[in-house]
Amino acid sequence: MKILICGDSTAATFDPKETPIVGWGQLLADHLPGVEVLNHAMAGRSTRTFLQEGRLDALDGLIAPGDLVVVQFGHNDGGNKPERHTEPRGDYTENLRTFIRFIQARSGVPVLMSSICVRIWENGVFQPSHTPYREAMEDLAKAEGVPFADLYADTVSIVTSLGEEGSRALYRDDNTHTLRAGADLFAAAAARRLEPLLSHS
């Protein structure tokens, strides 16, 4: 049994010689001993561009019955670049449904996972991010009867427990991409979400 990841830069694998950015998917296997992880997350992708570029089709033949396929998008879907942007209750939901159908057709288990939080503090108060996309994803998961893994909630808990200054060490200066320390904590949280699904798939 294995886990495959479809997502954006926050989950992607990076070369440490080129950047200090580390995606949580890069470290997931460290927290799930004996589980193979195939990380297909790619920087800069939204549900729209991931599908348009045939990146989901590339998983054909890789998904075995019972494999978990994590789908995590939202950062770029909610961005201001029109070629990436999707509407939460429109094409974002429809694109996620395309992922679900593709995975189920190959007897895999689709897991819709909410995006990690952006580290935004204003006057000492943590600010939410991606709320419309998270809510749309959760509603779709319920409607489709597929697992919803709320990594957003987990990462908010981690960031707020560390506080504005303490959480600074988890992220790059853009407060979106994680350094190794953040990726490791977030990968551990993702593993806790996925572990119960592994035993039932």
Residues designated catalytic: 9, 174, 177
72: left (phi over 0), alpha (psi -120 to 50) or beta: beta
**H or E element at residue 138:** helix 131-144
Q: Are strands 2-7 and 36-39 parallel, antiparallel or unpaired?
A: parallel
- In 3D space, the residue among 142, 136, 189 whose CA is nearest the CA of residue 161 turns out to be 189
179: amino acid identity, one letter: L
Return the exposure string of 148-161: e unless at least 16 CB atoms fall within 10 Å of the residue's CB, then b: bbbbbebbbebbbe
Contact 192/36 with Cβ under 8 angstroms?
no
Q: Are strands 109-113 and 68-72 parallel, antiparallel or unpaired?
A: parallel
What is the C-alpha to C-alpha distance for residues 187 and 39, in angstroms, rounded to an integer?
A: 13
Contact 143/149 with Cβ under 8 angstroms?
no
